[in-house]
Amino acid sequence: MNINSCLVTVVVLVFLLVGAGTGSASETASPLEKSMSDTLDIWRERRYEHLFEQLAHRGKISRETFVKNMRESTILPACCWQKMQDFRVLNEKSSEATVYVKIGLDGTPGAAGSMTREFKLTHQEGLWKMQLADVFSLAGVTGKKGSSSKRHSNNPYLYPTFN
């Protein structure tokens, strides 16, 4: 083998090795991260009936009230890389987990909004599910029946932060 053939072989091998490690985020994401990402995608697609089924701790709220409240909200999860950033699992048990993540939000009063905080996920029916209250919190609606009032407080612990 001459030096050019060796060089080409080495370059091809390096290229293949580097290419093998660049899978999409969804291929390498933990089940918790993938579940949360899928839930946010369903919400972004405005498939509220399906979203309702993907949530835990729905309480006494009806599907119809949930859908009505979500349709009245102008806030949706951001797309692509802005949807979820800095995802970390803080605690994971067989039926509950706590994660810390920055969620990008579109439709907030500022140009670019996000919320960074802990979220509890519950393992039910073979899936990790976000809490309905967390989705309402992100969407900026209250959980009261028949009410979808917008929030007007500046409490940084409860409401989106604007970048």
**Secondary structure in 3-state letters for 18-48:** HHHCCCCHHHHCCHHHHHHHHHHHHHHCCCH
CA 41 to chain centre: 7
Q: Where does residue 35 rank: exposed (0-12), middle (13-18), buried (19+ CB within 10 A)? A: buried
All structural domains of the chain, each given as residue ranges with its CATH number in brackets, are 28-162 (3.10.450.100)
Q: How many CA atoms lie within 13 A of 113 on its CB side?
A: 18
Digit-by-digit pLDDT tens for the chain (163 residues) are 566 665 555 555 545 554 444 444 445 789 999 999 999 999 999 999 999 999 998 789 999 999 999 999 999 999 999 999 999 999 999 999 999 999 999 987 765 589 999 999 999 999 999 999 999 999 998 755 544 444 433 444 444 444 4
Instruction: Give the model's pLDDT for residue 10.
Output: 52
- Going through the chain in order, the beta strands assigned E by DSSP cover 55-56, 76-77, 84-92, 96-106, 113-124, 127-131, 161-162
pTM, entire model: 0.71
Q: What are phi and psi of 156, to 5 degrees?
A: -70, -15
Q: State how far the Cα of 32 lies from the Cα of 147, in Å rounded to an integer.
A: 31
| Tokens 């985020």 belong to residue | 25
Q: Where does residue 24 rank: exposed (0-12), middle (13-18), buried (19+ CB within 10 A)? A: exposed
